[in-house]
Amino acid sequence: MKNNSALFYTCSLIEFIGRQCKLKRSEVVSLLGDKVIKRIYGHADVLHCEPIAKAADEFISLCNLPNGSFDNEKNCKYEVPDYWTIGEVYERLIEDVDCGDILETLKDVYSSWIDGAISNYNSDFFYQSRDYISECYCRNEIIA
């Protein structure tokens, strides 16, 4: 399903939580766990009616997420992309490589090497075309 708004919200919330807690996005997905990710995805239409910071605070508390030291915003030399922009990058990639179970694909994408590439705001990787990013993911490398 293209333009999956529940997936877009879920990915954007993961990004927001990662920034709040200073955690790699793969860590956020792992710490939230399957049940909570499924809950976020399943209730995204309701959750998006609240400020995203409120939803993030609730899930941070619910899952007792720790504070880490991964601060890709602070380390960014250029303009920091907003969490909606990064959420959309993940959403599109997950849609493009999904083989039937969107939440399983979400976990696979976030636990792969591409999490680091998308989170490197000093590169232009996250600005690349949708097709390029999915091709890189499928080849398991950044294509020169």
Q: How confident is the model at residue 1 (pLDDT cuts 50, 70, 90)?
A: low
Q: Whole-model pTM? A: 0.95
| SS3 state at 48 | coil
pLDDT digits (tens, 9 = 90+) for 54-95: 999 999 999 999 999 999 999 889 889 999 999 999 999 999
What was the pLDDT predicted at 60? 98
Distinct helix (H) and strand (E) counts, the chain: 8, 0
Q: How confident is the model at residue 2 (pLDDT cuts 50, 70, 90)?
A: low
Q: Which residues contact 6 (CB under 8 A, 6 or more apart)?
A: 41, 42, 44, 45
Contact at 8 Å (CB) between 46 and 6?
no
